[in-house]
Amino acid sequence: MNTVRAQSLTYQGHQIFKVRSARDLYTLMKPGIVYSNTLGALAGLFLAQGSGSFNPRSFLLYLVTLAGIALVVAGSTTLNNVIDQDIDRHMQRTKNRPVHQGFVTPVFATVYGLVLTVLGLVLLYVFAHPLAAQVAFFGSIGYVILYSLWTKRKTTFNTIVGSIAGAMPTVAGYVAYSQRFDLTAWILFLILFLWQPAHFLAIAIRREEDYARAGVPMLPVLYGVGIAKRQMVIYTLALFPVTLMLYMIGVTGPMYAIGVTILGGAYIVLALIGLGWQGEKEKRWVKWMFMYSIIYLTLFYLLIIVGAFVN
C-alpha cells in the first residue's frame, strides 16, 4: 500500500498525529478478527431470517448490518492496540504492531478507533435496528474497557470477560434481523461464549513465556498448563450440547445437527488427547487446538449459512 506522506502534526516538538502508511491503518484494525466477526454476523442474519427464505429485498439490511458490525469491531480492535502497546513490546506475536513500533501515534490511533466505532454504531442504529446497535455497543465496551483496560491486566477471568464481548457481533447480526433478543439469541450467545475459552487458552499456552514476561495473568502463567488443559476439556464438553440446542428448538436443520456433532466430537477428543502429552507432543497438540478452534468456528458459521438455503 502507498505511504502516506502528509502524516504529522506536532505540538511542542512532539508528534501528535502521525501515520506511516495506509497498511498500518489496515493492520491496526486486526483484519483477521474483523473478517471472522463479520462472517459470524452474516451467520446471525441468516439464522434470524430462517431456512430457505432468503429475500433479496433484505440485501440492504444485510449490507448495512455487516458494514456496521465490521466498523465497530475494527474500531474496538484499534483501541486495543493503543491500550496494549506496553504489553506488545514483550510479545513475540504482537511486537510489530504499529502503535508499539511508533508507526502510528497513540492519539491518531485513538481518534481513528473512536471514529470507526461510532460510525459503525450509527449505521446499526439508524439503518439496521437500535437493538443491534445496543448489542454491538456492549460488545465494544466489554472488549475495550472491561477486557483490555481492566481484567486482562488483573485476573485470569480476563478470558471469561473477553468471551462475553467476543460473542456480541454474531448476536448483533441476529437481532438486526429478528429485532428481538429471544431464546435463539441467548443460545447463539452461549455457543460463542463457550467456544472462546479453549481458543484463548490455546494461545495462552503457546505464548506462556511471553505473557509471563509481559505480566499478563493468564491461567497457564499463574496456575500451570495442566489446569489450563482441564479447563479446555470442560469448555469443549459444555459447548457440544449447547450447539445442538439450535436444532432442538427448530431453527436449524439436520445438516447443521450432523455437522456440529462431528465438529464438537472431534474438538472434545482433541482436547482430551492433550491431557497426557508433555514436551514436544504438547507443543504440537496446542498448535492443533488453536488451528482447530478456528476451523471449528468457521465451519459452524458456514453450517448456519448453507443451512438457510438447503434445509
* Domain boundaries of the chain, sorted by first residue: 8-310
* Cβ neighbour number for residue 230 with a 10 Å cutoff: 12
What is the rounded distance in angstroms from the CA atom of residue 217 to the CA atom of residue 47?
A: 37
Question: 211-240 pLDDT, tens per residue?
Answer: 999 999 999 999 999 999 999 999 999 999
The answer to whether 8 touches 25, Cβ cutoff 8 Å, is no
Please state, in angstroms and rounded to a whole number, the distance separating the CA atoms of residues 264 and 283: 22
Amino acid of residue 162: G
Q: How many angstroms separate the CA atoms of 117 and 119, rounded?
A: 5
Three-state DSSP state, 21: strand
183-206 vs 279-310: helix axis angle to the nearest 10?
Answer: 160
Residue percentage of the chain with pLDDT more than 90: 81
| Cα(175)–Cα(184) distance, integer angstroms | 10
Q: How far apart are CA 136 and CA 222, in angstroms?
A: 32
Yes or no: domain 8-310 corresponds to CATH 1.10.600.10:
yes
pLDDT tens readout for residues 252-298: 999 999 999 999 999 999 999 999 899 999 999 999 999 999 999 99
Q: How far is CA 249 from CA 75, 164, 171, in A?
A: 35, 23, 17
- Which mean pLDDT values do the consecutive 10-residue runs of the chain (311 residues) have? 44 62 90 97 94 68 97 98 91 84 90 97 97 98 97 95 97 96 97 98 95 94 96 98 97 96 98 94 96 98 91 67
Cell (9 digits) for 77? 480492535
The answer to whether 26 touches 103, Cβ cutoff 8 Å, is no
